[in-house]
């Protein structure tokens, strides 16, 4: 299946390709198919490991980008859970799915009709002083536009910057080659007071608008409110900009809520520069656990030739 994640409308979120039976596939076959799909992530559903099964896992998931395997990723987690259920998967607990992956077990719950995953713990460290200037230069950002920064790691590692405004975030046109040479994935965010459709200054956005037509975009999109504008640049993994990123939003949420830079419940918007309307629903429960939820839409069902 191909599932669009963080949207209730197909083709407005972030797609993930899900192979519902990855049994017997080699690592190289998985990686080759992930390169062929050219999606930000392709996943393979497998039976749990003996330890995972003993700990209650419903299935094991392997997650590949075009450039390599990830121990965890957010939108593939939600998209694969949707595909597994639609493909006949049977939960062991009502309203709960336990996914085994590279970071261990990830709990996914149906919360008021929307599936959400428990964000894995995030490790934090400061951006090295000697990297700050080249990173800001590659992003095209002035030092005074940065409110806070942090390197966040919950499996994938993101070098993150909280900027002064959503408009600054939307108008970024980074030097992707420079970011790729640095070997880092960069997340940027800023609080937003109003919803946006598309950042038309961005090159990908202009191409999308020319292809689809401005009036069609405005009439087809369902604009939903949001509180945080997010973008993710991952040239180091073969993706210049990821449309909507669950792992990044999970890490951002834990950092920003802890620092009281965002409330315990908010909605992040991502993908506008690519003609998308991603919405990521963040909730921190009383226990301190952060949950990352989103809608999903199945776009493609079929068979692929793999060996």
| Tens of each residue's pLDDT in the chain, 307 residues | 999 999 999 999 999 999 999 999 999 999 999 999 999 999 999 999 999 999 999 999 999 999 899 999 999 999 999 999 999 999 999 999 999 999 999 999 999 899 999 999 999 999 999 999 999 999 999 999 999 999 999 999 999 999 999 999 999 999 999 999 999 999 999 998 644 333 333 433 334 334 333 333 333 555 678 999 999 999 998 889 999 999 999 999 999 999 999 999 999 999 999 999 999 999 999 999 999 999 999 999 999 999 7
Contacts of 219 (CB under 8 A, 6+ apart): none
Q: How far are the Cα atoms of 47, 51, 60, 99, 174 from residue 56, in angstroms, in the given order? A: 12, 9, 11, 9, 43
Report pLDDT for 212. 38
Run of H or E including 251: helix 246-258
Closest CA to 11 of 290, 303, 271, 286: 271
End-to-end C-alpha distance for the chain, whole angstroms:
17
Report pLDDT for 203. 38
Report pLDDT for 206. 37
Closest CA to 79 of 119, 115, 107: 115
- By residue count, the chain amounts to 307
Report pLDDT for 220. 52
Report pLDDT for 222. 57
> Which domains occur in the chain, in start order?
2-113+294-300 (3.10.310.10), 123-288 (3.10.310.10)
Contacts of 247 (CB under 8 A, 6+ apart): 70, 72, 73, 74, 154, 155, 156, 158
């Amino acid at each position: 299946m191909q599932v669009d994640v963080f949207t209730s409308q197909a083709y407005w979120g972030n797609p993930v390709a899900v192979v519902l039976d990855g049994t017997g596939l080699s690592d190289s076959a998985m990686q080759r198919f992930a390169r062929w799909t050219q999606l930000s992530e392709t996943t393979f559903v497998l039976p749990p490991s003996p330890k995972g099964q003993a700990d209650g896992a419903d299935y094991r998931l392997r997650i590949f980008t075009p450039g390599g395997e990830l121990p965890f990723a957010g939108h593939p987690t939600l998209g694969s859970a949707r595909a597994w259920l639609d493909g006949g998967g049977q939960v062991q607990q009502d309203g709960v799915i336990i996914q085994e992956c590279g970071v261990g077990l990830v709990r996914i719950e149906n919360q008021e009709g929307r599936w959400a995953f428990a964000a894995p713990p995030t490790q934090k460290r400061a951006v090295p002083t000697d990297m700050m200037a080249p990173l800001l230069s590659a992003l095209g950002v002035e030092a005074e536009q940065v409110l806070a920064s942090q390197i966040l790691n919950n499996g994938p590692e993101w070098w993150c910057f909280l900027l002064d405004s959503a408009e600054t975030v939307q108008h970024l046109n980074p030097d992707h080659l420079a970011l790729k040479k640095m070997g880092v994935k960069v997340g940027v965010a800023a609080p937003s007071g109003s919803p946006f459709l598309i950042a038309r200054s961005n090159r990908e956005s202009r191409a999308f608008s020319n292809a689809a037509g401005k009036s069609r975009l405005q009439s087809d999109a369902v604009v939903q409110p949001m509180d945080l504008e997010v973008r993710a640049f991952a040239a180091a993994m073969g993706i210049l900009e990821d449309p909507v990123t669950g792992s990044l939003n999970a890490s951002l949420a834990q950092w920003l809520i802890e620092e009281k830079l965002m409330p315990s419940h908010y909605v992040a918007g991502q993908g506008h520069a690519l003609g998308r309307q991603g919405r990521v629903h963040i909730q921190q429960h009383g226990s301190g656990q952060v949950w990352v939820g989103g809608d999903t839409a199945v776009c493609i069902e079929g068979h692929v030739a793999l060996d």
